[in-house]
């Protein structure tokens, strides 16, 4: 076979591969993911879908949507059950072939959605490893979250808080004063946060698709669980994310709002 024929054969193989990929992409199920932007459980599913290139339409709700006004101490927040499952619960994945209860429009519960997607798309996403160092830093960051994140999160310009009643319902659920106080300097707490963030690069022991991940064998459920917690702290002005952690979050590649642009 001449060089030109070899080149033509190689081109044909390449075009065939591109065509096959296009067919696979075209045949990918169409999903709608119903979320709150701020919700860590919703974020789990979004990061999984982003990591593995699973396309979806994103529908964001006000946080009070689906709340039962009669169970909110007479405050009148909410608009009754969401029409997705009959309950106030997100995320919900909707689409052809997505399992759901009779009368429901989609599948709720973040980890069940992740399990469904992993099985349906044959994703390689190892279960959480139970690493002690990951457990430790997760617990320490979780302990810092109420003081640093709660008052700031509701100031983010996201649809979750489009109505003042959405913020009020959030405060009610968290057993906090309905009025959001002004953000005050918290040098001690922010210093503690930055000390924890500085420890994270050493925990990122692997790489997957050019970005850091927690385990040597690649991206998996450890990352699904940790990333939403880290994202919550991006609304804190003064939080310092080391370059490796910025690359790990890779928020700009997702459909989620980049809180860093609005940090307070």
Is the per-residue pLDDT at 81 higher than 70? no
Is the per-residue pLDDT at 200 higher than 80? yes
Res 22: pLDDT: 38
Is the per-residue pLDDT at 18 higher than 60? no
* Token code pair at residue 72: 């909110």
Q: Do 187 and 99 share a domain, yes or no? A: no
Q: Do 254 and 137 share a domain, yes or no? A: yes
Mean pLDDT of the chain: 88
For the domain that residue 192 is a member of, what is the CATH number?
Answer: 1.20.1050
Q: Do 81 and 143 share a domain, yes or no? A: no
pLDDT per position as a tens digit, 20-42 = 333 344 477 899 999 999 999 99
Q: Do 26 and 144 share a domain, yes or no? A: no
**Could you tell me the CA-to-CA distances from 238 to 47, 186, 192, 260 in Å, in that order?**
25, 10, 11, 10
Question: Does 156 reside within a domain?
Answer: no
Q: Do 28 and 113 share a domain, yes or no? A: yes
Question: Does 220 reside within a domain?
Answer: yes
Is the per-residue pLDDT at 248 higher than 90? yes
Is the per-residue pLDDT at 6 higher than 90? no
CA dihedral 73, 79, 85, 91 (to 10 degrees): -90
Is the per-residue pLDDT at 71 higher than 90? no
Q: Do 27 and 102 share a domain, yes or no? A: yes
End-of-domain residue from the set 80, 99, 120 = 120
**Could you tell me the CA-to-CA distances from 152 to 65, 170, 182, 259, 260 in Å, in that order?**
21, 12, 9, 10, 12
Q: Do 71 and 137 share a domain, yes or no? A: no
pLDDT per position as a tens digit, 217-247 = 999 999 999 999 999 999 999 999 999 999 9
Q: Do 12 and 49 share a domain, yes or no? A: yes
Q: Do 111 and 81 share a domain, yes or no? A: yes
Count of domains observed in the chain: 2
Q: Do 136 and 246 share a domain, yes or no? A: yes
Res 29: pLDDT: 87
Task: Say which range, 5-19, 113-127, 163-177, has the weakest mean pLDDT.
Answer: 5-19
User: Would you say 156 and 180 are in contact if contact means Cβ atoms under 8 Å apart?
Assistant: no
Instruction: Look up the pTM and report it.
Output: 0.86
End-of-domain residue from the set 76, 100, 120 = 120
Res 9: pLDDT: 36
Q: Which residue has the higher pLDDT, 121 or 4?
A: 121
Q: Do 49 and 145 share a domain, yes or no? A: no
Which residue range forms the structural domain that includes residue 250? 132-149+183-262
Q: Do 26 and 50 share a domain, yes or no? A: yes
Question: Does 18 reside within a domain?
Answer: yes
pLDDT band at 119 (very low <50, low <70, confident <90, very high): very high
């Amino acid at each position: 076979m001449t060089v030109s024929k070899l080149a033509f054969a190689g081109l044909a193989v390449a075009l065939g591969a591109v065509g096959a990929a296009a067919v696979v992409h075209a045949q990918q199920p169409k999903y709608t993911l119903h979320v709150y932007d701020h919700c860590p459980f919703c974020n789990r599913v979004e990061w999984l879908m982003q990591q593995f290139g699973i396309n979806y339409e994103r529908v964001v709700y006000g946080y009070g949507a689906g709340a039962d006004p009669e169970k909110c101490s007479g405050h009148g927040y909410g608009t009754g059950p969401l029409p997705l499952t009959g309950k106030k619960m997100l995320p919900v994945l909707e689409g052809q072939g997505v399992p759901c209860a009779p009368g429901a429009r989609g599948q709720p519960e973040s980890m069940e959605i992740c399990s469904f997607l992993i099985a349906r798309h044959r994703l390689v996403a190892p279960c959480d490893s139970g690493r002690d160092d990951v457990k430790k830093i997760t617990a320490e960051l979780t302990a810092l979250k109420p003081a640093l994140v709660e008052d700031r999160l509701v100031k983010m310009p996201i649809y979750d808080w489009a109505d003042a009643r959405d913020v009020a319902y959030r405060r009610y659920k968290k057993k906090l004063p309905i009025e959001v106080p002004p953000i005050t300097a918290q040098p001690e707490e922010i210093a503690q946060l930055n000390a924890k963030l500085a420890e994270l690069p050493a925990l990122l022991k692997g790489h997957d698709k050019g970005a850091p991940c927690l385990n040597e064998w690649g991206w998996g459920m450890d990352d699904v669980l940790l990333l939403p917690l880290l994202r919550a702290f991006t609304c804190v002005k003064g939080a310092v994310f080391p370059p490796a952690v910025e690359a790990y979050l890779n928020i700009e590649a997702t459909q989620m709002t980049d809180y860093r642009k609005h940090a307070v």
